Amino acid sequence: MNMFNKRTKIREIISKQESQTGITVMGWVRSFRNNQFIALNDGSTNTNIQVVATLGNFPDELIKRITTSASLRVYGDLVPSLGKGQALELVATEIEILGDSDAEKYPLQPKKHSLEFLREIAHLRFRTNTFGAIFRIRHSLAFAVHKFYNERGFVYLHTPIITASDAEGAGEMFRVSTLPLENPPRDEDGKIDFKEDFFGKATNLTVSGQLEGELGATAFGEIYTFGPTFRAENSNTARHLAEFWMIEPEMAFCDIEDNQNLAEEFIQYLIKYAMENCADDLAFLDQRLAEEEKQKPTNERQEFGLIEKLKFVTDSKFERITYTEAIAILLDSPAYKKKKFKYDVSWGIDMQSEHERYLVEKHFKKPVIVTGYPAAIKAFYMRLNDGCEPGKQTVAAMDILAPGIGEIVGGSQREERLDKLVARMEEMHIPTHEMSWYLDTRRFGTVPHAGFGLGFERMVQFVTGMGNIRDVIAFARTPKNCEF
């Protein structure tokens, strides 16, 4: 008799808490003690189910094969447990080994492992409680993204992953080519001849779906993208990845204030969704973080526990300040006066993570939205603010800064005035003839419009309390590292 279509997930058993006869569970062995108590986990929850293999009921040959990480099919009755630690246990009448595991060679021994070690065996780290919790939360947040925009009538647009345009003008892109590396075709000037390439021109992996998103917004009104994004930035830090996921809504008939309102509502919605739907996993990570904090010197400990921090963000109005006000606060700060900042502070700088975190964690003690950045440090498509002081031209940009990680959202009202946009592109040496398709949105019925990008991994990092972004994506892509 095939029992595979009858499997009951452990999560379902835990949530119902009812005795049952004749049920089948399948999962991996976490531990096996006294030759009769099996802790079985199927990945649907961090909670194991205790399987009782009554002594004498199963052949020794089978018992020997019940090792850490072996996979089993167990059939039996769910009954109230007499032991501590669980309300119900599964008394097995049938045990079938689906896959053996050599416990001596299995790298995940039942003990505490460092996150660095687990990164080296990222293909197996999902089987630990920490990573089980992180990736179930990641799934919930991804689902909540689509739910949020769907409820508000946005159209989900799949923007291209291979593109010929550099949306950010940053130039830190991965080249896509089928030309032979050892001997590429060259033109008369000796430069690589991309006319011979697959697409007939130089192409790259996308750094943002925004420009194409604007095309969608000026037809549907409101769109969002949610897809992989690539930056060939040589940043070996705990908050940078070369391949990450980004959510980018783009809204017509929308200004910088509407943009801030949507972003704040969006962040609070995602956190609330995770708190309602991943309570067990968040409680586990909250406990994990509390233990980690105890190891730190008192002055380095975070003020809030994980769940406390999340509630604080869902229950607080975000502080809204201008870039000019932010710089004034930093210049007046004890940290600046005592030369605690590694990077200098003056009007015109691109604020560093240490500055952003000071504003959020020390000064306001809540998420902060900064607007009105200097035009010189922002992208060409951001709307120039009117009535600026000479030499202090600002744009209608906004960054949302969150405790623990700094910038989590970057966005702006877009420059909808054709003449101003063209002048800005020329000033920044962006070829207008190649971007004619983009400028058409300003030629044929332009509208005030705005949008932002939220780095999905930074959001997952914030919600899970993980210190390193490499621990919230399945397989991290970073400088000199492309394993698995």
Residue 159 sits in the same domain as residue 230:
yes
Residues 393 and 466 in one domain: yes
Predicted local distance difference test score (pLDDT) of residue 342: 94
**pLDDT score, position 237:** 83
Contacts of 156 (CB under 8 A, 6+ apart): 146, 149, 150, 223, 224, 225, 226
Q: Tell me if 15 is assigned to some domain.
A: yes
pLDDT surpasses 90 at 448: yes
**Helices 129-151 and 456-464 meet at what angle, rounded to 10?**
120
**Final residue belonging to a domain, choices 72, 106, 140:** 106
- Residue 447: inside a domain, yes or no? yes
pLDDT digits (tens, 9 = 90+) for 214-253: 999 999 999 999 999 999 988 888 888 999 999 999 999 9
Domain match, 78 and 132 both? no
Examine the fold and report which residue of 54, 75, 106 is the final residue of a domain before the chain moves on.
Answer: 106
| pLDDT more than 90, % of the chain | 81
pLDDT at 300: 78
Tell me the average pLDDT across 447-457.
Answer: 97
| Geometric angle at alpha carbon 106, from 105 and 112, rounded to 5° | 125
Alpha helices in 105-176 (DSSP H): 115-120, 129-151
pLDDT of 1 above 70: no
- Which of 219-223, 370-374, 479-483 is predicted with the least confidence, judged by mean pLDDT? 479-483
Please tell me the predicted confidence (pLDDT) of residue 165: 76
In tens, the pLDDT along 110-148 reads 788 999 999 999 999 999 999 999 999 999 999 999 999
Query: Do residue 150 and residue 256 come from a single domain?
Result: yes
Task: Identify any residues that bridge with 148 across adjacent strands, giving them in sequence order.
Answer: none
User: Which segment of 98-102, 256-260, 406-410 scores lowest on mean pLDDT?
Assistant: 406-410
Q: Which two three-digit tokens encode residue 407?
A: 């910038």
Q: Are residues 351 and 311 in the same domain?
A: yes
Question: Does one domain contain both 245 and 348?
Answer: yes
Boundary residue ending a domain (53, 76, 106): 106
Answer yes or no: do 253 and 354 share one domain: yes
Q: State yes or no: pLDDT of 170 exceeds 80.
A: no
360 and 423 fall within a common domain: yes
Asked if residue 60 belongs to a domain, the reply is yes
Q: Report pLDDT digits (tens) over 271-294.
A: 999 999 999 999 999 999 999 888
Q: Is residue 197 part of a domain?
A: no
Do 254 and 330 belong to one domain? yes
Evaluate whether residue 62 is within a structural domain. yes
- The predicted structure's pLDDT at residue 117: 94
Per-residue pLDDT, 86: 84
**Same domain, yes or no: 249 and 334:** yes
Q: What is the pLDDT of residue 168?
A: 60
CATH number of the domain enclosing 11: 2.40.50.140
Category of 126 on φ-ψ map: left (φ > 0), alpha (ψ -120 to 50) or beta: alpha
The yes-or-no verdict on residue 326 having pLDDT over 80 is yes
3-state secondary structure of 202: coil
Structural domain span for residue 45: 4-106
Domain contains 368: yes
Asked, for residue 183, whether it belongs to a domain, the answer is no
Q: What is the mean pLDDT of the chain?
A: 93
Report residue 295's pLDDT band, with 50, 70 and 90 as the boundaries. Answer: confident
**Identity of the highest mean pLDDT range in 73-87, 108-122, 317-331:** 317-331
**Residue 421, CB-side half-sphere exposure with 13 Å CA sphere:** 20
Q: Are residues 234 and 335 in the same domain?
A: yes
Q: How many domains does the chain have?
A: 2
Grade residue 406 by pLDDT with cuts at 50, 70 and 90. Answer: confident
Residue 330 lies in a domain: yes
Q: Sorting pLDDT into bands at 50, 70 and 90, what band is 4?
A: low
Look up the pTM and report it.
0.93
User: 144 with 270, same domain?
Assistant: yes
Report the sign of the C-alpha dihedral through residues 228, 229, 234, 236, in that order: negative
Domain at 453, CATH number: 3.30.930.10
